[in-house]
Structure 1
Amino acid sequence: MNQEPGGQLVYHRIGGLIRKYRKEKGLKLLDLSGVTGIKSALLSKIENGRMLPTIPTLFTIIQKLGITPEIFFSELSAESDFPGYLYLPKDGFSTYEKEEGAIGFQYQSVLESTFEGGAFQISLLTLTPGSQRAQVTTAAYEFIYVLNGPLQYQLEDKTFDLSEGDALFFDGSIGHVPINHTNTTCRLLVMYFFGELRK
């Protein structure tokens, strides 16, 4: 797990950490739902970073997973000093699953870090031809940069036709989905900003 400066808790990693422990226990979302009493749709949103759980919900989940709070929160802590630069070879990008059931969506985490008042994550998203997913929401602001396209990006009832070099910035609480109608692979750079924007 990446470490960040300042000894802060990296809240946007909660979902991925819950998924990791759930899979280590050999549990499906429906299994975890059954033992926690939390709906599987809500668990899916938490695991995929679409929303942050309330404190009682989080403690229920980690208790039912058999993880002590000390161990869980130690994995969220960020304790190393930033040396002033980061070299990020592509072999070090970690693949992760963001939406269970999505077809043709391949995510790679490039960098995750915190800053005063928030955090960010930079990912590469590859969309294969015929990729499918329903619109989702995220507890973050999102910046999309098209590395190669074309593709369509839907924000609720609006559709944007994007080509290589185009960008889109939006509030992730708006339902959204990228669509690849072509017969070639599309790639996007996706940045998630966790925190409040100043007006």
Structure 2
Amino acid sequence: MEQHNLEYYKIGGLIRKYRKEKDLKLMELSELTGVKSAMLSKIENGRLIPTIPTLFTIINKLGVRADMFFGQLAQGDEFPGYIFIPKQNFTKYEKEEGAVGFHYQSILEFNYDGGAIQVSLLTLEPNSSRPQVATAAFEFIYILAGDIKYELEDKSFQMTAGDALFFDGNIPHLPQNNTNHAATLLVFYLFTSN
């Protein structure tokens, strides 16, 4: 029997895709499902994994068959001990709707017993903006190029190429680029099943 792992951290992007295909605004989906728009936003942005009843409510109201939805989350190949990812296979995605100057590329999404890891490349344009966010994961940030200020709730860190930061993503956080040049960050999300 072939075993499939589910890439749970694609749930938010799939929900956003189906919502936009139905030409629904976040508030309209909130009214349809009874799920608060703030929670829907966190789910779509990969910052929160919904409970099974909430997920089924959302996909039902979007008119998506459960088998089709979960089939898109299936990761059918068994891990051979390595994964090579050519840069042309990096996938652009939107993490926060309405964020300005945040350009994400997913490099790797991998599930393992006990959790999952997502590795992204973030290009942060000068004067980028969004509010602080929280993520239900541990995060590791490594600055590849440029200078940024990284806010963790009420603390801030000046970071330059080669600097790193590890933190509990549940702490509200925000990278800021107040320079005239783009900054590039490698972002690791470590999701645990605990």
Please report the TM-score for the alignment, with normalisation by the length of structure 2: 0.94
Matches within 5 A, 1:108-187: 108-187=105-184
Kindly provide the amino acid, as one letter, of the partner of residue 56 in structure 1: P
Secondary structure at 1:137 match in 2: coil
Distance in 2, Cα, partners of 1:106 & 1:137: 18
Matches within 5 A, 1:65-76: 65-76=62-73
RMSD between aligned alpha carbons?
A: 1.5
CA deviation string 1:148-169 (max 9, x = no partner): 1211100001101111000000
114-123 or 72-81, which moves further after superposition?
72-81
Q: Structure 1 residue 124: deviation in Å?
A: 0.4
Distance in 1, Cα, partners of 2:43 & 2:193: 19
CA deviation string 1:96-138 (max 9, x = no partner): 0000111100000011111111101000001101101110000
Cα gap change, 1:75/1:33 in structure 2, threshold over 3 Å: closer, same or farther?
same
Distance in 2, Cα, partners of 1:117 & 1:38: 28
Distance in 2, Cα, partners of 1:179 & 1:157: 14
Secondary structure at 2:84 match in 1: coil
Q: In the alignment, what sits opposite 1:11?
A: 8
Distance in 1, Cα, partners of 2:3 & 2:119: 20
Distance in 2, Cα, partners of 1:148 & 1:178: 14
Q: In the alignment, what sits opposite 1:80?
A: 77
Moved over 6 A (4+): none
Q: Structure 1 residue 29: deviation in Å?
A: 1.2
14-23 or 112-121, which moves further after superposition?
14-23
Q: Is the 8 A contact 2:145 2:161 kept in 1?
A: yes
Kindly provide the amino acid, as one letter, of the partner of residue 98 in structure 1: K
Secondary structure at 1:60 match in 2: helix
Secondary structure at 2:16 match in 1: helix
103-112 or 16-25, which moves further after superposition?
16-25
1:107 to 90, 104, 107: 104
Cα gap change, 1:183/1:191 in structure 2, threshold over 3 Å: closer, same or farther?
same
Distance in 1, Cα, partners of 2:128 & 2:31: 30
Q: Which runs of 5+ in 2 are unaligned?
A: none
25-34 or 111-120, which moves further after superposition?
25-34
27-36 or 41-50, which moves further after superposition?
27-36
Q: Structure 1 residue 6: deviation in Å?
A: 5.3
Q: Structure 1 residue 31: deviation in Å?
A: 2.0
Distance in 1, Cα, partners of 2:164 & 2:3: 31
